[in-house]
Amino acid sequence: MSLSSYRSPFSEQTHDHSLCIIEALEIANKLCTQRGARLTPLRRQVLELIWQSHKSLGAYKILEKLQNTQGGRAAPPTVYRALDFLLKQGLIHRIASLNAFIGCLHPDSPHVGQFFICQTCGNTAELEAPHLHADLLQQAHQLGFKVEKSTIELMGVCPHCQSLVSL
Amino acid sequence: MSLSSYRSPFSEQTHDHSLCIIEALEIANKLCTQRGARLTPLRRQVLELIWQSHKSLGAYKILEKLQNTQGGRAAPPTVYRALDFLLKQGLIHRIASLNAFIGCLHPDSPHVGQFFICQTCGNTAELEAPHLHADLLQQAHQLGFKVEKSTIELMGVCPHCQSLVSL
DNA sequence: TATTGTATGTTATAATATACCTGTTAATAA
DNA sequence: TTATTAACAGGTATATTATAACATACAATA
Ligand SMILES: [Zn+2]
Ligand SMILES: [Zn+2]
Ligand SMILES: [Zn+2]
Ligand SMILES: [Zn+2]
């Protein structure tokens, strides 16, 4: 029940992103139902806004978009509360180095997010790299350190943007 | 010309931290002289404030401390300018997940910082884990992604704080 | 229906960071 | 030495991100 991974975030031009959005919302629905969590219209709308692209989106951008559709009524806490819910349900991740939020690619299995963020186009890919995480945990173990949360964010240039530069 | 690493950040009680401070300032001096960069009194003072402990320090905490010693004159841009300089010289790192800054343990060799941050005591250890970084770079290579900057921050509980909990 | 917990609305404010303009100091050239 | 220039620092205002505190609406269930 994971999002299809054959659609690379770095080829937004060449994949049908509407499928990403539909899948993400479907999975969110299923997971919340299973857990007895309430994916209210507001929370669903925020999740949908975040999934508009594979770029991370700041809280105040979300607020702006909400106001455009809702009729100017939303305030910051509205957005942050919805974000908190989505974070707790594992439906989105926070990108600490950008103060922004992005849809999770595999919200059904608890995991640590590892992100590759293109500095040029902003598209962001979430990686599954279990052995990498295992390495980190081993390092931690040697130190006697108990890891509870990890932030791994690599900034750089995606293949698509590299090909544009070399033209 | 790296800071002595036998003093663990997680045993602040049992190491002579004044040696950490002295070494850090000495190395900073040497590096800046070598590079023709100017470690002005203000920049030096900010670096010294950051090195007061192995906990990361927010810009506004630094500001506060500056004002206590300087006579209340400093403003935010003063601090941020000094921080920018220290970051560029590789003398400090920014901890994205805490919006805070910490002294670099080996400022002489360019490297990616990997941090273990104790959620209980705040002490933070910077790790050298080259093979871990190599792993990340290989992942990136497979994606065709060119990494330019990495943020690796692991939150958890340090050995010292674990021992306290179990009492 | 009454009760209770969850969700949302509203206002104000905290915390972090930068833009912009002005004066000062330090290196370099004439 | 003095003139010129670039780096540095001060100061004010403001942008950006996030939360506190309190009030109201809604939904589940007893
Ligand atoms: Zn997509
Ligand atoms: Zn790109
Ligand atoms: Zn020390
Ligand atoms: Zn600790």
Amino acid occupying residue B108: D
Q: Which range scores top for mean pLDDT: A131-140, B2-11, B86-95, B127-136?
A: B86-95
User: What confidence score (pLDDT) does residue A1 get?
Assistant: 46
- Estimate the share of chain A in helix, then strand, then coil, as percent rounded to the nearest 5: 50, 20, 30
User: What confidence score (pLDDT) does residue B111 get?
Assistant: 77
* Mean pLDDT value of segment B35-53: 94
Q: Give the CA-to-C1' distance from A34 to D29 in angstroms.
A: 20
User: What confidence score (pLDDT) does residue A72 get?
Assistant: 63
Token representation of residue B157: 């509980």
Q: What is the pLDDT along chain A (167 residues), one digit of tens a residue?
A: 445 555 788 876 778 999 999 999 999 999 999 999 999 999 999 999 999 999 999 999 999 999 988 666 799 999 999 999 999 999 999 999 999 999 998 898 877 789 999 999 999 999 877 777 888 888 889 889 999 999 999 999 999 999 887 66
Tell whether B116 lies on the interface with A, counting CB pairs under 8 A.
yes
Q: Percentage of chain B surpassing pLDDT 70?
A: 92
pLDDT of B3 strictly over 60: no
Q: Give the CA-to-C1' distance from A147 to C28 in angstroms.
A: 54
* Mean pLDDT value of segment B35-48: 93
- What's the gap in Å between A121 CA and the centre of ligand 2? 4
User: What confidence score (pLDDT) does residue B95 get?
Assistant: 97
User: What confidence score (pLDDT) does residue B74 get?
Assistant: 87
Question: Domain A17-165 carries which CATH code?
Answer: 1.10.10.10
User: What confidence score (pLDDT) does residue B105 get?
Assistant: 85
Tell whether B159 lies on the interface with A, counting CB pairs under 8 A.
yes
Confidence of residue B71 (pLDDT cuts 50, 70, 90): low
Average predicted confidence (pLDDT) for chain B = 88
**DSSP reduced 3-state for B120:** coil
User: What confidence score (pLDDT) does residue B1 get?
Assistant: 45
Q: Which residue has the higher pLDDT, A94 or B5?
A: A94
DSSP classification of residue B36: T
Tell whether A1 lies on the interface with B, counting CB pairs under 8 A.
no
Within 52-81 of B, beta carbons closer than 8 Å to A belong to none
**DSSP reduced 3-state for B153:** strand
Work out whether strand A146-157 and strand B92-95 pair parallel, antiparallel, or are unpaired.
unpaired
Among A135, A150, A158, the residue with its CB nearest the CB of B145 is A158
Nucleotide nearest to B73 (CA to C1'): D10
Among A114, A119, A147, the residue with its CB nearest the CB of B154 is A147
Chain A window 55-84, residues with Cβ within 7 A of nucleic strand C:
73-78, 81-82
**Structural domain boundaries in chain B:** 17-165
Could you give phi then psi for residue B116, rounded to 5 degrees? Answer: -110, 120
User: What's the CA dihedral at A7, A8, A10, A13 to 10 degrees?
Assistant: -10
Interchain pair B97, A151: CB under 8 A: yes
